[in-house]
Structure 1
């Protein structure tokens, strides 16, 4: 069995994305397995080889590899080889002997080097896709076609040669605990329900806020999030662009939706009370508020309704009518008319200066500054 990868700039939705194409080939039958990743970590290589083993349905005795740092830390000319610990643990668990090429002698695994030319000419050149999932589908179809076509050197298809001569010689796949092969990283969840990975934020259930979770990535495409007891709690497609954007948290959206519903119901009820209390004058005043103080119209309406605790609805309606005649739509206009007017004599100068504060020393209890929920909703 031989392994190698190739980088390729693939246009995805019109934007070039660096894709790593993994190739594993069985030396005798030439049967191959292709998969792709958006990163090239040791875990990505291990997943690619493990996926190939599942695809072949068994394990070959050895694997011929190059000398990248993801697998080989050092390979001296005197034959001393230092392997990456993670890769060596994987090979040990699966019982695979590793055969690194001599440094600068990649032709040792020519069965892999040359077929990359074939996939480049027959699939990659000129290819544009709408998404990575679409590319993975095309890559799988290409693999199936390649394995079933007649090989020019063999005189038969790799699939026929594999099923007849090679598959019976493969060793069974051992039952290995995935956690032993793919160790997970630990991340802390923020107080608003996000974790950070590779410069991007991803939401997790709010009940895990300020707790630690475990994460793992699959080929740089998928991010899986687990609780500390090992149960999966979230899964996301890794964003290859717009990483700086903050995604909307699903639970935040639910809370926002509930808030908007309460807010809408509160405003409808407030308008209904206002119109019932002040009839036609109230409807005209509302239209005036929409034009002048639309941003906090409902706060003005609520403040005017509070005046009914002190004044009669008839007095407030009369003051409102005078405000409408003066084209002054503000809750302070009505309040000052009610406080300052003498019967039959509106004080127009007070109406036109609704926001001038009186120079009076006022002492209030602190409870007067408590924000009520209905004021926030307004």
Structure 2
């Protein structure tokens, strides 16, 4: 078929210069029927598309080639074969055609697949306080100069588009609880529905349709905040498209270029400031005359009031070793010596762990996210020192133990003495009964008098426990007699008569 330039020239020669069809055909070396077709149709362009491709060589092998293309397309990107490799496999099955036919067929096959896979969406609209969306993302930062991948929790109010972002070392359930609590405390309320994907920390079993078996602790959290959880269809991220878009926005604006921070607290404080700054600087996508922050302020009155923090912990049982240690998350933590011999319950929070036994707390530590580390609290081992005072010098829990100033001076005074360890253990044991401030004050008083013996310090503590009764202050006015005594000599006469 002739090009548009030839068609344009035919039309000019006929309608402008008045030439006949025969003259135009002779000058342009084209058939007169072609000239007539151009003039009668009035079109300025002709296209020819073959309705059916015969594919004489590849026709018998279409099913095999479709199977190879489908299997290859289902593989991960790194494992997919090139089209040359697929052509060689097809040749191994007996195909005798050329590579160009396979290449053209594969191109049309991919075009059909992309056309059939094109998804169509319906825009969603939410009322104030109706729903929020939750999701996780992984971001790369430099933490204390080391490259670290942090897990970022995203919460987004569907009506106002207000977002809340917080980073954690893990995606475990206690981190989910903490992220919700901090988000609702920031929003000053929660929505009536929460939209999630099917994360394992929330969903135990996926049934047909929207039916889910939610995790028991996750349902407890939702019941505390009066939220109805809704899980998306598997592999259907568009059902929570707002938070999915937020992940890309936060990655582009907040984590690019790579952040350099010293701690998670510093990172999270910076992220919260960025969320507020973004909301105050950008217009709402639906209410263009107001910012996201202004719409969020108006939505706050429609939120379910914030009821206070949820006790969001993940509990597991653990046994206590004879060295007063429990193992959790590839690390060891010390517990009180009185807990040895019976199991304890470890409650893991986002920032700390608690060990409980029979309803009482036997240990509390800042959570460690490393591996193969041992976290000691030296006070857990003080009762053991009463039986083994020599362990004070070389015991692992007591190395680099930072004591208050007066106690540290007393410890240095006793260092190197024959009975120094035993006396120091007696002073430390008093902390368990009298408290650290009282023992610190007793040590300071003893040092001010130039003594540091354990007997003296314990004596000071005993006097503090049982203070002397207040002394009566006598004055000349108090000693003055109000009634002068009267002399009675008859009493002496009675005594003389008795004698």
Please indicate the TM-score interval, normalised by the length of the shorter structure: 0.5 to 0.7
TM-score (norm 2): 0.47
Q: 1:112 aligns to what? A: 243
Residue in structure 2 matching 1:235, options 356, 365, 370: 365
Aligned-residue offset at 1:111: 1.0
How far the C-alpha of 1:104 sits from its partner, in A, is 1.4
Instruction: Provide the secondary structure at the position in 2 that maps to 1:184.
Output: strand
Deviations 1:245-290 (CA, angstroms, capped at 9, x unpaired): 444552469923799865612399xxxxxxxxxxxxxxxxxxxxxx
Q: Is 1:213 matched up with 2:341?
A: no
Q: Structure 1 residue 25: deviation in Å? A: 0.9
The worse-fitting range, judged by mean Cα deviation, of 40-49 and 115-124 is 40-49
Structure 1 residue corresponding to 2:185, chosen from 27, 37, 54: 54
Offset, 1:64: 1.1
Q: Render the CA deviation track for 1:337-370: whole Å, top value 9, x for unaligned.
A: xxxxxxxxxxxxxxxxxxxxxxxxxxxxxxxxxx
Give the TM-score normalised by the residue count of structure 1. Answer: 0.60
Residue correspondence of structure 1 range 174-185 to structure 2 within 5 A: 174=307, 178=311, 182=313, 184-185=315-316
Structure 2 residue matching 1:98: 3-state secondary structure: strand
8 Å CA contact 2:313, 2:348 repeated in 1: no
Superposition deviation, residue 175 in structure 1: 6.3
**Which secondary structure state, in structure 2, belongs to the residue aligned with residue 36 of structure 1?**
strand
Of structures 1 and 2, the larger Rg is shown by 2
The residue number in structure 1 matching 2:378 is 250
Q: Which secondary structure does the structure 2 equivalent of 1:265 belong to?
A: coil
DSSP-derived class of the 2:277 partner: helix
CA 1:50/1:175 → structure 2, altered by over 3 Å: closer, same or farther? closer
Q: Deviations over 1:214-237 (max 9, x none)?
A: 332233x43233454244742223
Aligned pair partner of 2:295 in 128, 140, 161: 161
Number of residue-to-residue matches in the alignment: 262
Note the alpha carbon deviations across 1:143-197, whole angstroms, 9 max, x for none.
Answer: 2323322235243332211222x1111122346873xx54533333332232211
> Quick check: 1:4–1:65 contact (8 Å CA) kept in 2?
yes
- More displaced stretch, 113-122 vs 258-267: 258-267
| Structure 2: segments with no counterpart, 5+ residues | 1-131, 386-391, 399-409, 421-499
1:33 aligned onto 2:164: yes
CA shift in 2, pair 1:102/1:206, >3 Å: same
Residue matched to 1:20: 151
C-alpha separation in 2, matches of 1:142 and 1:120: 12
Name the CA shift for 1:145/1:232 in 2 (closer, same or farther; >3 Å): farther
Map 1:259-338; keep pairs closer than 5 Å: 264-266=416-418
Greater relative contact order (CA < 8 Å, ≥ 6 in sequence): 1
Change beyond 3 A, Cα 1:232–1:21? farther
Match of 2:175 in 1: 44
Aligned partners of 1:136 and 1:176: how far apart in 2? 19
Alignment RMSD (CA, Å): 3.1
How many Å separate the matches in 1 of 2:307 and 2:337?
38
Q: Provide the residue aligned with 2:270 in structure 1.
A: 138
Q: What SS does the aligned partner of 2:260 have?
A: coil
Structure 1: gaps (5+ residues):
269-378
In 1: Cα distance, 2:362 partner to 2:270 partner:
29
Q: Counterparts of 1:176 and 1:152 in 2: how far apart (Å)? A: 30
